[in-house]
Amino acid sequence: MKRVLIVISTYKSQSDELAKDISAFLAKRGYSSDVFPYDDKKQVFDLKDSYSFAVSLGGDGTVLFTARFCAPRSIPVFPVNLGQFGFIANISPEDWQSEIEKFLSGIYDSHNRMLLDASVIRNGENMCRFEALNDVVVSGSGIAKLVNTEIHYNSVSFGVYKSDGVIISTPTGSTAYSAASGGPILDPNLSAFVLTPISAFSLSNRPVVLPASGELRVKVLPYRQKNIVLSVDGQELVKLQEGDEVVVSESKNMVTLIGCTPVAFYNALRSKLGWAGSFTVDRGCKDA
């Protein structure tokens, strides 16, 4: 029997009932379902590797969690928005049935999104590795957050950043923490990174857009701040030490988001980021 993974946010009261409805709907069409509760804490999937597709029931955080599991297994993700914002999860709970019907019939919209591959190198040894759909962040924690980091892109030195941290985001993540820190918004079709300093001590440290074909290296330099962490999609945390390097490149994996298209992306910018305005022409223009 074909299988479907349903990841539900435990913080959304309607997710349990909706998961039951979706499971019953899919069972009539020859699919069995595995339901996995996600509670925004560090969790490990104890599930099968083979699913026809996955359904994410929650907000964008639930999509990020689901995407990191599904991307290396080439499992498409169907993101249903039960959150308040839902920039990535853009399918409304009222539309799930019609959208799944389209998917099962082979008539549906989808979009592949790039992921980041991030490793922590300590004394020449690879300590850990992650993938991220939104971003990876090297930052200080606590009250005094200022950290020193040395940035390289391939063999080019960007110098030393004295800041509260640095964000490396994908085009998908460019609308999240990076945008809140002054970074630009990228079209999801682009293959690029955004390097965004957080509250940089120097005004010359500005956000930079870089080709994802290269490699970014963020080295933690000695400074008064000792509580430095790597955050992956805001969900995985690793404590860093002086001398550690965070190496970021484009992952070989991508995640397929069902119902997400470039058009839907720009519609979300208008509706969820409050973009507004109109184009007018002054036909009575005269010389001053």
- Report the alpha-carbon angle 242-247-251, nearest 5: 155
How many Cβ atoms sit within 10 Å of the Cβ of residue 110? 14
How many Cβ atoms sit within 10 Å of the Cβ of residue 39? 11
The residue written with tokens 């969900």 in the block is 235
- Told to judge if 187 belongs to the known catalytic residues of this protein, a careful annotator would answer no
pLDDT category, 265, cuts 50, 70, 90? confident
Tens-digit pLDDT profile for residues 173-204: 999 999 999 999 999 889 999 999 999 988 88
Query: Is domain 2-109+259-273 annotated with CATH 3.60.10.10?
Result: no
- 33-42, 109-118, 252-261: which has the minimum mean pLDDT? 33-42
Domain range annotation of the chain = 2-109+259-273, 115-252
The residue written with tokens 């590795």 in the block is 129
* Beta-strand relationship, 2-9 and 31-38: parallel
Indicate the average pLDDT of the chain. Answer: 90
Tens-digit pLDDT profile for residues 97-127: 999 999 999 988 888 999 999 999 999 999 9
pLDDT category, 281, cuts 50, 70, 90? very low
**286 pLDDT more than 60:** no
pTM for the full predicted model: 0.90
- Report the alpha-carbon angle 162-168-169, nearest 5: 145
CA distance 143 to 21: 46
CA distance 268 to 273: 7
Phi-psi bin for 84: left (phi > 0), alpha (psi -120 to 50), beta? Answer: alpha
**170 pLDDT more than 80:** yes
pLDDT category, 67, cuts 50, 70, 90? very high
Q: Taking a C-beta distance cutoff of 8 angstroms, is the pair 67, 133 a contact?
A: yes
Burial class (CB in 10 A: 0-12, 13-18, 19+), 274: exposed
266's enclosing H/E stretch is helix 262-272
Please identify which of the residues 60, 135, 164, 233 carries the catalytic annotation: 60
pLDDT category, 44, cuts 50, 70, 90? low
Q: Which long-range contacts (CB under 8 A, 24 or more apart) does 172-178 make?
A: 172/88, 172/113, 172/114, 172/133, 172/134, 173/132, 173/133, 173/134, 173/135, 173/233, 175/87, 175/269, 175/273, 176/60, 176/87, 176/134, 176/135, 177/134, 177/135, 177/137, 177/234, 178/135, 178/207
Instruction: Check if 2-109+259-273 and 115-252 are the same fold.
Output: no
Closest CA to 160 of 150, 175, 174, 170: 150
CATH of segment(s) 115-252: 2.60.200.30
What's the average model confidence in pLDDT over 244-248?
A: 99
What is the model's pLDDT at position 279? 47
67's enclosing H/E stretch is helix 60-70
pLDDT category, 18, cuts 50, 70, 90? very high
